[in-house]
Each structure stands twice: as C-alpha cells, then as structure tokens.
Amino acid sequence: MILFKNPDGRRAESSSPLITWETIEKKMPWGVILLFGGGFALAKGSDKSGLSSWIGSQLEALESLDDKVILLIICLIACFLTQIASNVTTATIIIPIVLTLSEKLKTNPIYLALPSTLVCSYAFMLPVSTAPNAIAFGPSGLTTMEMAKVGFTVTVICLGVVFLCIETYGNEMFDLGTYPDWMPQGNSSLVVWG
C-alpha cells in the first residue's frame, strides 16, 4: 500500500505515487502467482479431504514387493505429480504418505522420503510444473511438446541418478537397511504435520 500513496494515507499534491495500479496490473506475472497459490490450495485440499490418507492406504498393497520396486513406484508417482503441480504441493502431498507407508512397512523412512523429496524438484516437462518453467516458457518461443521432449529426457536421467545414489552410497551414509529407533515401534501412528 505504501507504493500507491503516502504513509499517512493521504496523497500530497506535490508528490506522485511510486507505482500505479495500472502498472501493477499490466506488468505483474499474475499467472505465476496463481500457479503458486493454486499449488498451495491443492496441497491443503488433498490433506483436508483425506486424499493423502486414501493414497497411503492404496500404497499399502505394495507391501509384497521388493523395497527397490516400492521406491521406484513412489518416485514415479512423485515425478508424475510434480509435472502438473508445483514442487511444494507435490512434496506436501507425498512426504506424509511416504512416512506413513515406511512406518507400516517397517522400512527406514529416509530410504523412501529422501529420493521422493528430491524427485519433487524434477519438474522439467511442462510450463505449468513450476514457476521458473512458466517464466522461461513465455519468451522462449518453445512449444509445449518441445519442452516435454527435452524435459522427459532430463527427468529420466535425474531419476536414474537418484535411484543409483540412494542404492549405493546412500545406503552406507544413512544405514538404510535398518528401521531406526526414533520411528514409532508399535501400532501408533506417525504424526507428520501437527
């Protein structure tokens, strides 16, 4: 508000505002702001509606699979979701699900949470994926299909690197083969967001 009028609330005859509303209206990247706001609304809506809990219960069916396959499936889900929602939204939806799943499967939560958190940043395919994509897409002259082709290649490479890192030196660094003492041991449920 201070940009549009004097701090005392009245406009002096001799001074002009620093910026006019018309300038803000025309020059502000409203699409980027709406993209961020929509992402936060989507994350909150999925939490309040119980969608996150429902997805977590559906993923419990993965219990019979090998941990590497479960990790790959979760990373692919996070990767797909981050292409159509913002990184923050994807992380807000995925991380509580992953932590609850790791508690139920008695696997180290870092094994599932660390790669899926990193994958939430691999939004390279669509302009709607993240604000920097939208900002770069506008003046670039690229078509959505061109961006998707290049983004797909980069995404596959990044997924492979994360998977190899967590399976090699990630296991050694974080002792991912053991269920940690700081995780709930009984049937208590893990509280992720207070």
pTM for the whole thing?
A: 0.72
**Rounded to an integer, what is the distance from CA 118 to the centroid of its chain?**
9
Smallest CA-to-CA distance from 125 within 102, 157, 168, 98 is with 157
| 137 band by pLDDT with thresholds 50, 70 and 90 | confident
Per-residue pLDDT reduced to its tens digit, 69-112: 999 999 999 999 899 887 888 888 888 889 888 888 888 999 99
| pLDDT at residue 193 greater than cutoff 60 | no
Over range 169-187, report the average pLDDT: 83
Let me know: does 92 contact 45? Beta carbons within 8 Å.
no
Tokens for 168, please give them: 């090699």
